[in-house]
Amino acid sequence: MLKRHIPLKSLNTFGFDVEASMFLPVADTAILQNVWKTNLLSMSSPLILGSGSNILFKGDYPGLILQNLISGIDVVSENETHVCIRCGGGEVWHNVVMYSIQHNWGGLENMSLIPGTIGASPIQNIGAYGAELKDVFEELDAFDMWYGNMVKLKAADCAFGYRDSIFKQSGKVRFFITHVTLRLSKNPQVNVRYGDIASILEEWGITKPGIADVSRAVIHIRRSKLPDPAELGNCGSFFKNPVVRRETADALCAAHPDAKRFDQPDGTTKLAAGWLIDKAGWKGFRRGDAGVHEKQALVMVNYGTATGAEILSLAREIVEDIQAKFHVTLEMEVNTR
């Protein structure tokens, strides 16, 4: 049922006190078909909302918000080595990770505790600790809001990149992702090479880790570094790690030997945005109720009554300062509306 003037404070993890002009919960595809017939989708600038964990509202949203509440996890195919599960777009990502671990199906464990829903995961090509969605992605089903029909998209159709996809480019404001199918391994090979996973497992005395151990280590690391949105408004990582030319990274590291870099197979280098922000002196900075988290410089926080405009203004100031000091351009990972 279409609702009007709905408060969104509990539906965005920054906790901004804003409202939507129109709001429609979507629990099945029939609702999308029906609303498309009214021409409301073409007239109201629709915004698709999952759990609100990667969005910054600059103010009240004047159009229509569609909240993805489509649920369900079903095995759709399997063989001796792999299983494919089809997940409703409204399923919480971490719940799906836990479901896979309970069945000892590998591929998601390094992405434990990433906030958000399954339906939002292809948009960002979410990833963490050496794993990305594209590594386990099989296909997705989506409602095409331009033409009013269901479509099926494979990985090549989605144009996955680093925290990027067609859904942030040419397909923006076009597809409502109803289901995502993931291909998981029945013979999982753990990946402990990234971040502090290996050292945490060693500290715990685990020498032959399984996927449940890796997941537990990732959860431990994330909880130690990232604030809980229920306690402090934030959307997780606010900035992407910048990918630069190898020469740019070499020059930066020559000037700052402690800089964190990750050379890529294509000849580029990924730099740690958190290191850049920390080195520039922004970690723990606060202006009013808008600030940078004291433990993780990648995270912008709302200490109480900050507005989206105030958070965005501070973020842009940080981007300009990083450019001036290091000649590196930071990009915001969060979606602004």
Q: Is 261 a catalytic residue?
A: no
| Residue whose structure tokens are 């479901």 | 99
For the record, the structure tokens of 199 come out as 């050292």
Phi, psi of 243 (to 5 degrees): -105, 120
Q: Which of 53, 237, 310, 337 is catalytic?
A: 237
Bridge partner list, 243: 270
Amino acid at 236: G
Q: Which SS3 state, helix, strand or coil, does residue 121 take?
A: helix
102 CB contacts (<8 Å, ≥6 apart)?
Answer: none
Q: Which of 51, 100, 163, 222 is catalytic?
A: 163
Distance of CA 149 to the CA centre of its chain: 26
Q: Is 112 a catalytic residue?
A: no
1 CB contacts (<8 Å, ≥6 apart)?
Answer: 24, 25
β-strands 127-128, 131-132 pairing? antiparallel
Q: How many other C-beta atoms can be found within 10 angstroms of the C-beta atom of residue 117?
A: 28
CA atoms within 13 A on the CB side of 124: 26
Q: Is 237 a catalytic residue?
A: yes
Q: How many other C-beta atoms can be found within 10 angstroms of the C-beta atom of residue 34?
A: 11
> Which ranges in the chain belong to alpha helices (H)?
29-37, 40-43, 93-102, 121-124, 155-158, 197-203, 211-225, 246-255, 273-279, 308-326
> Which ranges in 65-196 belong to alpha helices (H)?
93-102, 121-124, 155-158
Q: Which of 86, 121, 333, 337 is catalytic?
A: 333
293 CB contacts (<8 Å, ≥6 apart)?
Answer: 226, 227, 232, 234, 283, 284, 299, 300, 301
> Catalytic residues, which ones?
163, 237, 333
